[in-house]
Amino acid sequence: MGLKIIDDIRKDYVCNLIRGGQRAEGRGFREYREISVDGDTIKRAEGSARVKIGDTEVLVGVKLDVGEPFSDTPDKGVIITNAELVPLASPEFESGPPNENSVQLARVVDRGIRGSEAIDLEKLCIEEGAKVWIVFLDIHILDDDGNLVDAAALGAIASLLNIRIPNERYGLTGENTLPMRETPVAVTMVEVEGNILVDPNFNEENAATSRLTVISNADGSLSGMQKSGSGGLKEEEIVEMVETGIEKAGEIREKYLSPL
Amino acid sequence: MGLKIIDDIRKDYVCNLIRGGQRAEGRGFREYREISVDGDTIKRAEGSARVKIGDTEVLVGVKLDVGEPFSDTPDKGVIITNAELVPLASPEFESGPPNENSVQLARVVDRGIRGSEAIDLEKLCIEEGAKVWIVFLDIHILDDDGNLVDAAALGAIASLLNIRIPNERYGLTGENTLPMRETPVAVTMVEVEGNILVDPNFNEENAATSRLTVISNADGSLSGMQKSGSGGLKEEEIVEMVETGIEKAGEIREKYLSPL
Amino acid sequence: MGLKIIDDIRKDYVCNLIRGGQRAEGRGFREYREISVDGDTIKRAEGSARVKIGDTEVLVGVKLDVGEPFSDTPDKGVIITNAELVPLASPEFESGPPNENSVQLARVVDRGIRGSEAIDLEKLCIEEGAKVWIVFLDIHILDDDGNLVDAAALGAIASLLNIRIPNERYGLTGENTLPMRETPVAVTMVEVEGNILVDPNFNEENAATSRLTVISNADGSLSGMQKSGSGGLKEEEIVEMVETGIEKAGEIREKYLSPL
Amino acid sequence: MKEGKTERKLIIDGKRMDGRGFEELRPLKIEVGVLKRADGSCYLELGDNKVIAAVYGPREMHPRHAQDAKMVVIKCRYNMAPFSVDDRKRPGPDRRSVEISKVSREALDPVIMKEYYPKMAIEVYVEVLQSDAGTRTAGINAASVALADAGIPMTDLVSSIAVGKIDGEVVLDLTGVEDNHGEADMPMAMIARTNTITALQMDGHLTKEEFKRGLKLAMGACHQIYELQRAALIGRYSKSEEREERKRE
Amino acid sequence: MKEGKTERKLIIDGKRMDGRGFEELRPLKIEVGVLKRADGSCYLELGDNKVIAAVYGPREMHPRHAQDAKMVVIKCRYNMAPFSVDDRKRPGPDRRSVEISKVSREALDPVIMKEYYPKMAIEVYVEVLQSDAGTRTAGINAASVALADAGIPMTDLVSSIAVGKIDGEVVLDLTGVEDNHGEADMPMAMIARTNTITALQMDGHLTKEEFKRGLKLAMGACHQIYELQRAALIGRYSKSEEREERKRE
Amino acid sequence: MKEGKTERKLIIDGKRMDGRGFEELRPLKIEVGVLKRADGSCYLELGDNKVIAAVYGPREMHPRHAQDAKMVVIKCRYNMAPFSVDDRKRPGPDRRSVEISKVSREALDPVIMKEYYPKMAIEVYVEVLQSDAGTRTAGINAASVALADAGIPMTDLVSSIAVGKIDGEVVLDLTGVEDNHGEADMPMAMIARTNTITALQMDGHLTKEEFKRGLKLAMGACHQIYELQRAALIGRYSKSEEREERKRE
């Protein structure tokens, strides 16, 4: 905490580049870094995905367990999303209980999945009011070079697309695949020096004062949104970000989720 | 923590006044500040009361829930009293789990209600050994200008006097009013410069080394007592405080609880 | 934390003595301080023992309760071992949740009892999959003059040897003595200046960089081992320590556990 | 969490269940300077929401290593009283309140002139006493007024409101029932004078067009709220001045 | 918590269940200097209660911002061993022990000459090894002796005992059974030489007259306890001196 | 915890269930420098175990009062991802991971030249991504390589492996199934070049002779692991140098 001199220098460097119409790594303002999605890397999980966006790396694992439904939705399964910013992933992260950044990360990813009704939770009911599947979605950050949200959200939906329900472990019968209906994709943008940049890396995140995550579905509708950072945005900037977000989400869905 | 110069000055000011037979606000030594009790201000609670004693302000809310009884009292309801000294209420309060002051506050209020057997807990049994009403009594401090105990205890008993039991929410039938048998009232006094002051304000609390809370019932009997502070008291001082406490409790009961 | 000058001086003193073939209190390198074991000192516990090794003093209490078995061992009782390094026992201990030293202490003692299968856990099953005896083994350190592990482990096994199972409290019938099959004894050694010292006192512990605890059974077999400290040990040192550990364990078992 | 929704008509004959039109705010009541110990405070009701905000500072920042040598640090804590909701809330922060505390802080941050008080802290506390959807927006509105009441140098006030979708219609300022059975909720905050958006969240399902409409609707409502915040502060100052004058007489 | 009471006779033929008279203390045993590492210590049995108290300090106060520039800070922690009660107590502080720690600290505070050690801390630890009602009074008695054993400058010792009401009678020093089935419990602490009361709590139901009677009864008992505390300390010092002398021979 | 064992044959026709011989390691894969933000890092697979280790520092030690004026402080945290085990692990440290963190730190400590960085801290983080018995030894191996990758001055690498007993035989490097149904598990760590043992734990039941045999077996395996660790580091440096050279051309 507390601005350090090196942060100022990095910030100036990023801002200067951008004023000149450039980004580090020679990327365009609307261009993502290289993305890779490796599915099913973790045997112990019912589903998993390792996502890299540039040097940012996130591992998402899904475990299923049998438990009680919430009392106000007795016929529906439960999703519990958790994010750990383990100190391995960044010199800024510290050990300890979830702080506001990891809580926000988990909640934004969770909101996208709920808002789009991606999982048909009613199909996760085993016995109304008594027994449902609990879907534990755990986001484990391995390397934070910026834009954790998009990597985590992509890892989450990729993990969910290939779940085998462990009916046999609990002596149950029933479908073994998780019923998925939608593929929400998160696209995060920042505003730096009046320009909108897609997929900010770590230095760009620090140079920006406002960030907006736009989560959208296959039909171009929105299923979640979150501004963060201590800056303000104008209506027209937000509208432009929403449109860009929907467009980029389509490209990512096509390229990385369709094959799954 | 740590005495600051401003605390010393305030303390001297209070002590000087008292040596001259006076109190701030022109009050007599045995006189309360202005009291107001507003019942049922919170819709979401089964009972509530907003109590002001001078500038001290406390909001007490009671929620009822169905739960299991304690194993050693299978035929009785349960009272759980909790106090939060939220940092909104005083520059001295900090966020975090209950500290010794909030624990003591909650326990003293709780003790007065239990000691007087104010609630007929047997009537809160729904099914012996299995289901009883749990009474959550939550004390929320809004402004601490001294004597939180009396305000909290008054708010607690005032909230309890007008509870509607939410039988319908749990598909139960039965009486809808909480069975109250007694109206314990707490009266707190401090000793400053050999004088006993009723209802200390914040500055008087800090100037005093000993404080005594006396909780008494309609018949003048005692149902709880607590000394606090790092000073000592003589037998005759305590006896005088107990007598004064019983007398003032009668006045408060008459004026603020009888109408409820 | 952080080496203080007085620690350095004490360390030098211990090392000098040892280089001269001596130990404080005139003990031999393979000699224990005076040991005492007082059984059944705590009425509220189902079993207890107060162990002194020199000035080190540990109180171990065992409570039994009825609870659910672990799902993977439905026909077995449960042991839960806990150690509290309460700040009463040493200027180094602090209040708060268990730290790595108390966790290690509890786990090493626990491991010795499990490894030797000292308790016949199957006999603690009341109703398979539903109800078993839970054995709470609580280690309460009272005075830390070094070698807490041996004192705690001795207190644990001594407590267990005289348990009365409180069947009547739960309306059960059955044997009233805990079925014990083995008497694991822990022997801790340190290496200082190339010498192996049995039963290090507090100063010797601080002068040593490596410590090894060897837990062994009546037949001379091993049921647990733990190296700690930031130093290294050679194979031949370890083998010597293991042999010494088994030998000393036999002596302690004979002298302090046989009478129980 | 939109999953709870069951089929329930929320709009009948073009009116909402509480009789409001689609673009109508709930009644808004603002009182300034309600607490003695706090440096600034505000009590606010928005329909059935009752919140109170207090501001302390600028004062010393603890722990020291979290001080900022260039500017004041803003701390913000949103908290619900246990009795403020239908099912008693366990005391202490949960994940929801941690997130709302962050969003609220970032909503207010842009208007505070932070360079005035390097190394210090300004603490903003919001307590929800009774809730009926929209507590975070009510809290931001109250906190903004409490900051002004505390005399914190600010470039402007921040105003906040939510829009949502019920029965397929984009409407302003959802109640609890509308939120539970509705299709989307979108709280935002804005510096009204400059139309700068400082907070924005969305939860549920909206088309792009609905989103744009909702954003405009919320922006319009923030202008109304801004006027009410100003009026409350002016009322407060004129009262103080009256008192001052009476003293002088 | 008096609600647990069931009808059970606690007094038969004018005697209590353990044969004591109404105004009679349980056997009290005090040992001084029982721990090596602590600066001062005391083991105390009061009937079936077994407690041990240790004192550390004066030593550096952590955290620094909690130091008091004018006097020493007293810290006090009352803790029950998990096996000290019928149902195993989960380790760590609960609300009861937090309150008792505060009451114990305030009971001892008035006799400590705090201005001698500005910025420092004195730490008092009480561990309950076996409990049978009255552990807080046993703890205060032991802590007071441990403070003296540690050489902390004190104006006097503090003595502590409870009175209560069983079967309608005011009696001294309740046992666990009496406390569970009785009508009131009132622990107090006192500086015996000056009859200054430093702790007082009441729980249950007492008339004003019963209260006055109980207070006098407790005060009398504190004088007895004071003599036993002094005797234990004198025994300790004479033993140390004997040892000293033997060394010199 | 050996109590879970049921009768299950783990050795058939002199071969283990995965086809290995008694003294055979599982496949070991080591990648160096896999993380961008960490100062040093290593990804390691040992059979079905997948772990990743990162090193930060030397950097400022917080909190200050825990600094050591003479040498660097080593911190070590072993953590399991919630999805790394069969039953989801609740996030955050449990007693097992607290102990393993301590054992791992003490295993690595002897090779670090700590006097180079007084008052600073070196932080070692091990994350278990997938587990199949032996995660602590995998973690120590990875951490040792990550320390070297971070350029921390070390006298040597530390290598680690477990031996155990299954169906009465002393064997190397247990799998999860072998550990659950076996009779003993003994993880150790060693500085291979000097045959200095820096970690040793034993759990289960071994005769003295089995112990000696097991220790020798583990020591031999550590020499193999040491070569693989060195090879991975050499591979890394030669790659960096290639890159350097290509740049210069």
**Chain A residue closest to F39 (CA)?**
A91
pLDDT in tens, E139-187: 999 999 999 999 999 999 999 999 999 999 999 999 999 999 999 999 9
pLDDT for F246 equals: 65
Nearest residue of A to residue F58, measured between CA atoms: A91
Rounded to an integer, what distance in angstroms lies between the CA atom of residue B176 and that of residue C122? Answer: 51
- Interchain contact, A89 vs F84, CB within 8 Å: no
Paired residues of E74 in beta bridges: E122
Token readout for B101 is 């002051």
pLDDT in tens, D156-172: 999 999 999 999 999 99
- Closest chain E C-alpha to C17 CA, distance in angstroms: 22
- What are φ and ψ of residue D139, in 5° steps? -65, -40
Q: Over 60: is that where the pLDDT of E3 sits? A: no
User: If residue D221 lies in a helix (H) or strand (E), which one and from where to where?
Assistant: helix D208-248
**A184 in reach of chain D (CB within 8 A):** no
User: Tens digit of pLDDT for each residue in C188-204?
Assistant: 999 998 999 999 999 99
C-alpha to C-alpha distance for D6 and D4, rounded to whole angstroms:
6
pLDDT at E248: 61
The answer to whether the Cβ–Cβ distance between D3 and A76 falls below 8 Å is yes
The CA distance from E79 to E74, in Å, is: 16
Q: Is A133 helix (H, G, I), strand (E, B) or coil?
A: strand
For B221, C66, C166, the CA distances from C171, given in Å and listed in that order, are: 41, 11, 9
Q: Which residues of C touch E97 (CB under 8 A)?
A: none
Cβ separation of D38 and B63 shorter than 8 Å?
Answer: no
Q: Which residues of C are less than 8 Å from F216 in CB distance?
A: 235
Degrees, nearest 5: CA angle D129-D130-D135: 95
Q: Do D3 and A227 touch (CB under 8 A)?
A: no
D179-191 per-position pLDDT tens digit: 999 999 999 999 9
Calculate how close chain E gets to B6, using CA atoms only, in Å.
Answer: 14
Position with higher pLDDT, C141 vs D66: C141
By CA distance, what is D120's nearest residue in A?
A2
Q: What is the enclosing helix (H) or strand (E) of C152?
A: helix C148-160
pLDDT band at residue D100 under the 50/70/90 scheme: very high
Residues E95, B107: C-beta atoms closer than 8 Å: yes
Give the model confidence (pLDDT) of F46-71 as tens digits. 999 999 999 999 999 988 888 998 99
How much of chain B is helix, strand and coil, in % rounded to 5?
35, 30, 35
User: Where residue E243 falls among pLDDT bands split at 50, 70, 90?
Assistant: low
3-state secondary structure of B106: helix
pLDDT score of E246: 65
The CA angle E191-E192-E198, to the nearest 5 degrees, is: 30
Q: How many other β-carbons are positioned within 10 Å of the β-carbon of residue A194?
A: 8
The whole-angstrom separation of Cα D41 and Cα B226 is 33
- Residues A38, A44, A46, A49: what is their CA dihedral angle, to the nearest 10 degrees? -20
**A65·F127 Cβ contact <8 A:** no
Closest residue in chain F to residue C104, using alpha carbons only: F99
The dihedrals phi and psi of A186, each to the nearest 5 degrees, come to -95, 135
| Contact check, Cβ <8 Å, F106/C230 | yes
User: Is A227 within 8 Å of D205 when comparing Cβ atoms?
Assistant: no
d(CA A234, CA F11): 70
The nearest CA of chain C is from the CA of E127 a distance in Å of 8
| Band of pLDDT at residue E244, cut at 50, 70 and 90 | low
**Token couple for A124:** 């996760």
Q: Measured between CB atoms, which of E85, E91, E127 is closest to C88?
A: E127
Q: Does C162 touch chain E (CB under 8 A)?
A: no
Per-residue pLDDT of chain A (260 residues; tens, 9 = 90+): 334 677 788 888 899 999 999 998 889 999 999 999 999 889 999 999 999 999 999 999 999 999 999 988 999 999 999 999 999 999 999 998 889 999 999 999 999 999 999 999 999 999 999 999 999 999 999 999 999 999 999 999 999 998 989 998 888 888 888 889 999 999 999 999 899 999 999 999 999 999 999 999 999 999 999 999 999 999 999 999 999 999 999 999 999 998 87
Question: What residue type is D105 in one-letter code?
Answer: R
Q: How many residues does chain A have?
A: 260
The dihedral formed by the CA atoms of F210, F213, F218 and F221, expressed in degrees to the nearest 10: -140
The whole-number average pLDDT for the span B49-60 is 98
pLDDT at F4: 42
Neighboring chain A residues of D70 at a CB cutoff of 8 Å: 3
What does chain E look like in DSSP terms, one character per residue? -GGG--S---EETTEETTS--TT-PPPEEEEE---SSSSEEEEEEETTEEEEEEEEEEEE-SSGGG--SSSPEEEEEEEE-TTSSSSPPPSS--HHHHHHHHHHHHHHGGGB-GGGSTTEEEEEEEEEEE-SS-HHHHHHHHHHHHHHHTT--BSS--EEEEEEEETTEEEES--HHHHHHSSEEEEEEEEGGGTEEEEEEEEEEE-HHHHHHHHHHHHHHHHHHHHHHHHHHHHHHHHHHHHHHHHH-
| Angle, vertex CA F94, rays to CA F93 and CA F97, nearest 5 | 75
Distances (CA, A) of B71 to A57, B68, B125, E133, E228: 51, 9, 13, 20, 40
Q: Hey, is the C-beta of C204 within 8 angstroms of any chain E C-beta? A: no
* B90 neighbourhood in chain D, CB within 8 Å: 37
Minimal Cβ distance to C3: which of F68, F99, F212: F68
Cα C71 from Cα C145, distance rounded (Å)? 40
> Is A45 part of the contact surface with chain F (CB cutoff 8 Å)?
yes
d(CA C1, nearest CA chain E) in Å? 13
Q: What is the pLDDT of residues B130-141, one digit of tens each?
A: 999 999 999 999
User: Number of B:D CB contacts under 8 A?
Assistant: 87
**What tens digit of pLDDT does each residue of E13-33 get?**
989 999 999 999 999 999 999
At residue F151, the pLDDT reads 96
Residue B7 above 60 pLDDT?
Answer: yes
Q: How big is chain B, counted in residues?
A: 260
Which of these CATH numbers, 2.60.120.680, 3.40.1350.10, 1.10.3720.10, 3.30.230.70, describes B27-257? 3.30.230.70
Nearest to B163 by CA among B180, B177, B184: B177
The verdict on C232 touching F (C-beta cutoff 8 Å) is yes
Q: Tens digits of per-residue pLDDT, B76-103?
A: 999 999 999 999 999 999 998 889 999 9
User: Is F37's CB within 8 Å of A91's CB?
Assistant: yes
Q: State whether residue C16 is helix, strand or coil.
A: helix
Chain D residues bordering chain B (beta-carbon distance below 8 Å): 35-38, 48, 50, 52-54, 56, 59, 77, 79, 81-88, 91-93, 123, 125-127, 129-131
**Is A104 an 8 Å CB contact of chain D?**
yes
Instruction: Give residue B6's pLDDT band: very low, low, confident or very high (50, 70, 90).
Output: confident
Q: For residue A2, give the nearest of D68, D95, D219 by CB distance.
A: D68
Q: Higher pLDDT residue, F239 or B185? A: B185
Chain A CA closest to residue D203: A224
Query: What's the average model confidence in pLDDT over C204-223?
Result: 96
How much is the average pLDDT of F125-149?
98
Question: What are the tokens at C42?
Answer: 């705590």
D and B touching (3 or more beta-carbon pairs closer than 8 Å): yes
Subunits adjacent to chain B (3 or more Cβ pairs under 8 Å)? D, E
| Interface touch A65/F88, C-beta < 8 Å | yes
DSSP B12-69: HHHHHHHHTT--GGG--TT----EEEEE---TTSSEEEEEEETTEEEEEEEEEEEEPP
CB contact under 8 A, F205 and C121: no
Indicate the residue of D69, D196, D207 with minimum beta-carbon distance to A221. D207
**Is the separation of the CB atoms in F78 and F126 below 8 Å?**
yes
Confidence category of residue C4, pLDDT binned at 50, 70, 90: low
Do A and E touch (≥3 CB pairs < 8 Å)?
A: no
Structural domains of chain F sorted by starting position, each given as residue range(s) with its CATH number in brackets: 20-248 (3.30.230.70)
| CB proximity list for D153: less than 8 A, separation 6 or greater | D112, D113, D116
Report d(CA E230, CA B134) in Å as an integer.
Answer: 49
pLDDT of residue F247: 59
Q: C5 touching F, CB under 8 A?
A: no
Per-residue model confidence (pLDDT) at position E45: 98
User: Looking at chain A, which residue has its C-alpha nearest residue D66?
Assistant: A1
Q: Cα(A90)–Cα(A85) distance, rounded to whole angstroms?
A: 8
Question: Across the interface, do D200 and A227 touch by the CB < 8 Å criterion?
Answer: yes
Residue that is written with structure tokens 């950097």 in the block: F59
Cβ–Cβ below 8 Å for F216 and C114: no
E169/F245: higher pLDDT:
E169
CA-based angle E221:E224:E229, to the nearest 5? Answer: 125
Say yes or no to pLDDT of B1 above 50. Answer: no
Across the interface, whether the CB atoms of E3 and B121 are under 8 A apart is answered yes
Distance from CA of D52 to the nearest CA of B (A): 9
Per-residue pLDDT at B237 exceeds 60: yes
Give yes or no for a contact between F111 and F157, defined as CB atoms under 8 angstroms apart.
Answer: yes
